[in-house]
C-alpha cells in the first residue's frame, strides 16, 4: 500500500528523568484532541489547564494527551517518489512538530504516522498521525492498523506506569475516516466504514484487557452522520464518557468522544474545552483523582 511506503517510522521517546510520586492522590488530566495537522497549540492548552488546576487548589497535574493529526517533520520521512500523497496542511511556524513538542515538554511520546502531509522532501518532509504524550512513563506501546477505506488510519495503544514501573492505566487513541470511497457510497457509506474501523480497535483492546487494567480511549470518530453504531461499538470496550453535548468541531458537529472504564474510587469528570486553541476541534478534558 502506497501510504505505508511514504511515511516514516514510529517514534518512541522518553525523557532522562521522571518526576517522583509525591502525593498519595494523583491528579491526572487526560485530553482527547484533534490538533488539525499541528495547528492546535498544545503548549497553550497545557498551560491553560495547569493554571486552572492551580487556581482550583489541585496542584500541578499529570497529563496524558491523546492527539490526532499530529505532524512529524523529519528527513526520516521517505520521498514520495511516484506515489500520490495527501496535500500538505501547514501549521503555524511557532508550533513545533510532535517530536520537538515532546522534547520541549520533557514528556514521554509514542507517535505513529498514518499518511504523508504533502510532498516535501529531505528536512521538509512531513507525515501525520496519532500521538500519545504523557508526563508518566509509557510502556507496551503498539499500533493497530485499521481497515482501509478512504485513507490509512493507525490507532495507538500504550500502558501508563507509575514511578515503580507498575502498570496502572491503559490508554488508546484513534481517528476514523471522514467518509467511505465513492464505490461504497461515499459519505453515505461512512458510518459502516467507521464502525468496521472501531470494531478492529475494540478487538485489539479486548485481547489486552484480559488483565483488567483501567482503560481510557479517545478519538475523533467523525460521527457527523450515523453516530450511534460507531459509539455503540466503541462502548463495548469502555463506557461512553459524559463530556456534555456541545459540538466538538468549530463547524458545529460533535465528532470527538472519550470512553472510560476506571474504578469507582477514581472520581472523575469530563468537559469540553472553552476554546479550540488554534485547531478546528475543541479538546475534551477528562479530570481524574487517582489514589496511587
Euclidean distance between the first and the last CA atom of the chain, given in angstroms as a whole number: 44
Q: Do the bridges between strand 11-13 and strand 138-145 make them parallel or antiparallel, or are there none, so unpaired?
A: unpaired
> What φ, ψ does residue 121 adopt, rounded to 5°?
-130, 165
> Would you say 175 and 153 are in contact if contact means Cβ atoms under 8 Å apart?
yes
**In CATH, what number is assigned to the domain containing residue 107?**
3.60.10.10
Instruction: Please tell me the predicted confidence (pLDDT) of residue 192.
Output: 87
What's the structural domain count of the chain?
1
For 164-203, the pLDDT digits (tens) are 889 999 999 999 998 765 554 444 456 889 999 999 999 9
The reply to whether 100 falls in a domain is yes
Instruction: Please tell me the predicted confidence (pLDDT) of residue 191.
Output: 81
The reply to whether 21 falls in a domain is no
Assigned C-alpha cell, 203: 478487538
Which stretches in the chain have pLDDT values below 70?
1-2, 18-25, 180-190
Which alpha helices (H) appear in the chain, and where do they start and end? Answer: 2-5, 42-55, 98-105, 190-208, 227-234
The reply to whether 22 falls in a domain is no
Instruction: Please tell me the predicted confidence (pLDDT) of residue 188.
Output: 46
Instruction: Please tell me the predicted confidence (pLDDT) of residue 19.
Output: 58
Size (the chain), residues:
292
Q: Do the bridges between strand 108-116 and strand 11-13 make them parallel or antiparallel, or are there none, so unpaired?
A: antiparallel
Instruction: Please tell me the predicted confidence (pLDDT) of residue 23.
Output: 53
Instruction: Please tell me the predicted confidence (pLDDT) of residue 132.
Output: 98
Range of the domain at 33: 2-13+28-290
Closest CA relative to residue 64, chosen from 141, 140, 211, 170? 170
Instruction: Please tell me the predicted confidence (pLDDT) of residue 187.
Output: 46
The reply to whether 18 falls in a domain is no
Amino acid at each position: 500500500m502506497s501510504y505505508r511506503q511514504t511515511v516514516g517510522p514510529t517514534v518512541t521517546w522518553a525523557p532522562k528523568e521522571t518526576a517522583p510520586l509525591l502525593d498519595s492522590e494523583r491528579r491526572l488530566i487526560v485530553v482527547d484532541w484533534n490538533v488539525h495537522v499541528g495547528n492546535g497549540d498544545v503548549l497553550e492548552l497545557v498551560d491553560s489547564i495547569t493554571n486552572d488546576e492551580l487556581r482550583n487548589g489541585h496542584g500541578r497535574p499529570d497529563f496524558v494527551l491523546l492527539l490526532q493529526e499530529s505532524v512529524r517533520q523529519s528527513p526520516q520521512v521517505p520521498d514520495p517518489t511516484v506515489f500520490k500523497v495527501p496535500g500538505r496542511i501547514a501549521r503555524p511556524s511557532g508550533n513545533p512538530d510532535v517530536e520537538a513538542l515532546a522534547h520541549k515538554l520533557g514528556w514521554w511520546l509514542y507517535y505513529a504516522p498514518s499518511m504523508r502531509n504533502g510532498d516535501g522532501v529531505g528536512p521538509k518532509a512531513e507525515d501525520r498521525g496519532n500521538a500519545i504524550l504523557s508526563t508518566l512513563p509509557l510502556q507496551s506501546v503498539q499500533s493497530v492498523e485499521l481497515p482501509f477505506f478512504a485513507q490509512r488510519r493507525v490507532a495507538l495503544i500504550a500502558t501508563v506506569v507509575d514511578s515503580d514501573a507498575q502498570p496502572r492505566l491503559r490508554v488508546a487513541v484513534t481517528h476514523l475516516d471522514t467518509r467511505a470511497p465513492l464505490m461504497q457510497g461515499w459519505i453515505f457509506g461512512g458510518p459502516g466504514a467507521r464502525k468496521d474501523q472501531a470494531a478492529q480497535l475494540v478487538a485489539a483492546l479486548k485481547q489486552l484487557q484480559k488483565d483488567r487494567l483501567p482503560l481510557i480511549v479517545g478519538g475523533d470518530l467523525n460521527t457527523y452522520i450515523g453516530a450511534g453504531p460507531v459509539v455503540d461499538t466503541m462502548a463495548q470496550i469502555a463506557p461512553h464518557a459524559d463530556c456534555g453535548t456541545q459540538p466538538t468541531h468549530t463547524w458545529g458537529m460533535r465528532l470527538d468522544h472519550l470512553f472510560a472504564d476506571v474504578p469507582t474510587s477514581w472520581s472523575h469528570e469530563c468537559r469540553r474545552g472553552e476554546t479550540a486553541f488554534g485547531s478546528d476541534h475543541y479538546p475534551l478534558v477528562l479530570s481524574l483523582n487517582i489514589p496511587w
